Structure 1
Amino acid sequence: MEKFNYQKELDKILSSIDKTSRPSLLLHACCAPCSSYTLEYLMDYFNITIFYYNPNIHPDTEYQRRLNELKKFLNDFDKEKRITLVEQPYNTDDYFSAVNTENEPSLKTEEERGERCRRCYKFRLEKAYEYAAKNNFAWFTTTLSISPYKDADKINQIGKELESCENPIHADTDTEQFKNPHTSGPKFLTSDFKKRGGFLRSLELSKEYGLYRQDYCGCIFSKQNMVKHT
């Protein structure tokens, strides 16, 4: 079966946007390097608010380092101060509850792009959708697809499911409550930001701005599994 072309879909969406009005976009971001090209690419189309929600990152010193690096990049890159940064609470218990590795220990040793990662994508995108819906954003998306180690199919599927509200965000929560009753809710911006040299451009920007590039995804399991394979 032919693989879906998310970049082609993104091109179609962007071509329909009026750059003079720039609708609001909530962009979930995981770090400065992944944000660099994504922001450069999207700034002319949207008024962007970065949503920094990453309780998966281990340890807390690494979390703070990545957040500080993102702030430093924004200060250097966004001279006109067009981009807003919203930091959410850092509670690792929320991450462990979402991926459920305690009850499914086999997930701890999975390679990246597996079920543990899918649950992590879903968990963070849910939070982004909730915030976007509550605060009347027109669009929401994530920088995650810029990484060659992330599964763009899973990321986009989760985003589209949230947009359509076919599934509840949590078992005890009705997704509909997060929608503005006067709108159709935020749309998910389809993406595979690694395409068309996006990942390579992020490497160039990281070098240009002297950004710290981490050598593991973020969670304790990705760090442990990296050590096992070195």
Structure 2
Amino acid sequence: MKKLLLHSCCGPCSTQVIDVLKGEYDITIYYYNPNIDSEEEYLLRLSEQKRYCKEVGINVIEDGHFPDEFLSKVKGLEGEVEGGARCSICFKIRLEKTAEKAKELGIDLFGTTLTVSPHKNSQIINAIGKAIAEKTGQEYLEGNYKKQDGYKRSIEFSKKYNLYRQNYCGCIFAKGVKG
């Protein structure tokens, strides 16, 4: 079975994606999300990610919380609308780090759970992932996991496993805006 390093934004979003991919890939979750605004929120989401993955037998790698990295890269874009240039930079930060970690671990394939959200543009995320793959010589697993009621299924899984479901992406600029 081919190994996959799967970036996860949170436990709830990973549920559906893991369910879809677990029969095809040997999945390791990579939890790297410098966009999350507070340490408390970051640790709560990480805890839920680990708890869910333990339930389903998936390993989790976490590389720490570095919000200053995110803030420095989106400086000047604080007023952007949700889904704009700031979000694209955020996707790029996380996917570049995922590709880097995959290479370090000797895993050729990387992907992300980000496309399960109806608030995230799968075409933009996949274009960024493919560009990074081309640059690094790795393979990006393109996906649009919101299809076929994917987001709805992630909500059902979250209820089944009693997972904390946040109501924003984690970014301080999106707080109060769903995404």
- TM-score of the pair, normalised by structure 1: 0.74
Q: Deviation at 1:72?
A: 1.3
Deviations 1:42-90 (A, max 9, x none): 00000011110001101110000000011111222x1xx3x21100021
1:96 to 61, 71, 74: 71
Distance 1:141 1:68 in 2: 21
Runs of 4+ with deviation above 3 angstroms: none
Larger Rg: 1
Percentage identity across paired residues of the two chains: 44
SS at match of 1:109: coil
- Structure 1 residue 112 displacement after superposition: 1.6
Of the three residues 122, 135, 140, the one matched with 1:152 is 122
* CA drift at 1:201: 0.6
Aligned residues of 1:26 and 1:132 also touching (Cα < 8 A):
yes
Matched, 1:37 2:16: yes
Answering whether residue 43 of structure 2 is matched by residue 68 of structure 1, we say no
**Hey, what does 2:164 align to over in structure 1?**
212
Deviation by residue 1:156-187 (Cα, 9 ceiling, x = unmatched): 0111111111xxxxxxxxx5xxxxxxxxx420
Counterpart position of 2:94: 124
Cα RMSD (Å): 1.4
How is 1:72-83 mapped onto 2 (pairs within 5 angstroms)? 72-76=51-55, 78=56, 81=57, 83=58
Where does the alignment leave 5 or more consecutive residues of structure 2 unmatched?
Answer: none
In the alignment, what sits opposite 2:80?
Answer: 110
CA distance in 2: counterparts of 1:133 and 1:186, whole angstroms: 8
* Among 146, 161, 169, the residue aligned to 1:194: 146
1:188, 1:94 → 2: CA distance?
Answer: 23
- What is the CA–CA distance in structure 2 between the aligned matches of 1:137 and 1:69, rounded to whole Å? 25
Is the Cα–Cα contact under 8 Å of residues 31 and 66 in structure 1 kept in the other structure? yes
Matched, 1:53 2:32: yes
Q: What is the rounded CA distance, in whole Å, between the counterparts of 2:107 and 2:138 in structure 1?
A: 6
Which secondary structure state, in structure 2, belongs to the residue aligned with residue 131 of structure 1?
A: helix
- Contact 2:53 2:59 (C-alpha < 8 Å) held by counterparts: no
| TM-score normalised by length of structure 2 | 0.95
- 8 Å CA contact 1:28, 1:142 repeated in 2: yes
> 1:203 is matched with which residue?
155
